[in-house]
Structure 1
């Protein structure tokens, strides 16, 4: 079932790497079931050593996978979609996008095939499989939404929201970590001022 569908992560930077490693650490996927792409051969070598399938060729990754995770920067998105469009196959591929600010309709407008697209917004805690991930899709893509939810449930917690809530969700889920860290820092600083050693104050505040 799910663990038989190969995944391609296109643009395996920080978030893409965290997704790849998290899925393997969760036991849901084996490295040999995940195809990762990146322009840097040096970075790809690190994945090869772990058993992942690696390439700098996005077309090859799409051909050999069913679930396509788009993890490039917003500036790279349009060129990537244009590059892989002809290799996408209806009723085979689904696309999960973690690209910041990229709306579902924006992505679909660049494709000539009817490919389900799910928008996914994890936060930095995905690196330790503790992400609070927001997910949204259009109604006709509910099956793809369930697949996305199942995948990202392995990397923390998920919540399905309407796409128009993605921007405020970013402030709450992604930026929220920064707010909490500032609160911890302020509390630990207060502890120092009342006489605790810095390490003890930080330990107690956190």
Structure 2
């Protein structure tokens, strides 16, 4: 059976190119993928590396799309959709949007009410195929199309469907923005080790490997992360002393507030981008 023809608008950008390369690694045929962009040289480099078709002509590409993946900055999305709206409304491909913050109502106005749209909220670890993507589909998206959207998301990591569009804001707070939380904590650990006398190179090496190991252990374990933490803590020991310091400083409450603020800002941005 011939695979659906996918067109990635903005396909030579970091996120879209990561998805395309993930799909190719999973066996998706290169001849069924088209990437569009404005930089001819960048597109040709990408084509030479991946074997996919490339073009600077969005309209010609979209005219043959079964699946249309939109990967442009949120601020550019309205203009792009309006320029393609008539063509998309007539062709009615599945539209998967990788842009953060824009609600389905906006795509309905820009592309037409009958176009099936899936919102995908991914994160930067997708660039190394360890991403986490939240997906939300309108009610008119078929099960087949949901499967197609999931396949796109899983090309760069895991995928999680949410039942309410507002839950995408929670996905943003947990996984969309989440890598930055861990990067901040790693920065703090590296700096603390340096101040204690360790070289920066050694502090970075130990911190990054510890973060990687902790995540891999948690993902592979059949017990929750709370128990894994307790497994490291001996009564009266070194780890317990450090954890008590974090807790006395209100770490849990601070994380809860930060994630709440993140979700609230995501909702605010959705309203702003829907204007």
SS in 2 for 1:68: strand
Q: In the alignment, which residue of structure 1 is the partner of 2:188?
A: 186
What's the offset of the Cα at 1:126?
Answer: 1.1
TM-score by length of 2: 0.68
Matched with 2:167 is 165
SS across alignment from 2:99: coil
Could you tell me how far apart the structure 1 residues matched to 2:129 and 2:25 are? 9
> Superposition RMSD on alpha carbons, in Å?
2.0
The offset of 1:106, in angstroms, is 0.9
Identify if the C-alpha distance between structure 1 residues 60 and 170 changes in structure 2 by more than 3 Å, giving closer, same or farther. same
Matched residue SS, 1:19: helix
1:101 Cα deviation from its structure 2 partner: 1.2
Conservation of the 8 A alpha-carbon contact between 1:121 and 1:134 = yes
SS at match of 1:139: coil
- Cα 1:67–1:205 change in 2 (3 A) is same
Question: Deviation at 1:80?
Answer: 1.7
State the distance in 1 between where 2:36 and 2:100 align: 19
Structure 2: 5+ residue stretches without partners = 209-275
Query: What is the aligned partner in structure 2 of residue 126 from structure 1?
Result: 126
How far did 1:36 drift?
Answer: 0.5
CA distance in 2, matches of 1:101, 1:84: 20
User: Paired residues, what number?
Assistant: 204
1:196 aligned partner = 198
**Is the 8 Å Cα contact of residues 85 and 113 (structure 1) preserved in structure 2?**
no
**Offset of residue 97 of structure 1:** 0.6
Does structure 1 retain, via aligned residues, the 8 Å contact 2:92–2:116?
Answer: no
User: For each residue in 1:134-168, what CA deviation from the matched residue of structure 2 results, as whole angstroms up to 9, or x when unmatched?
Assistant: 10012231422232112211210111112102223
Superposition deviation, residue 31 in structure 1: 2.4
How many Å separate the matches in 1 of 2:86 and 2:98? 21
For the 8 Å contact 1:90–1:114, the answer to whether it is kept is no
Matched, 1:152 2:139: no
TM-score when scaled to structure 1?
0.90
The structural deviation recorded for 1:90 is 6.3
Pairwise CA distance, 1:190? 2.1
Structure 1 SS opposite 2:177: helix
The residue aligned with 1:32 is: 31
* Structure 2 counterpart SS, 1:96: strand
**Secondary structure of the corresponding residue to residue 163 of structure 1:** coil
Point out the structure with the larger helix share: 2
Q: Distance in 2 between matches of 1:25 and 1:164?
A: 33
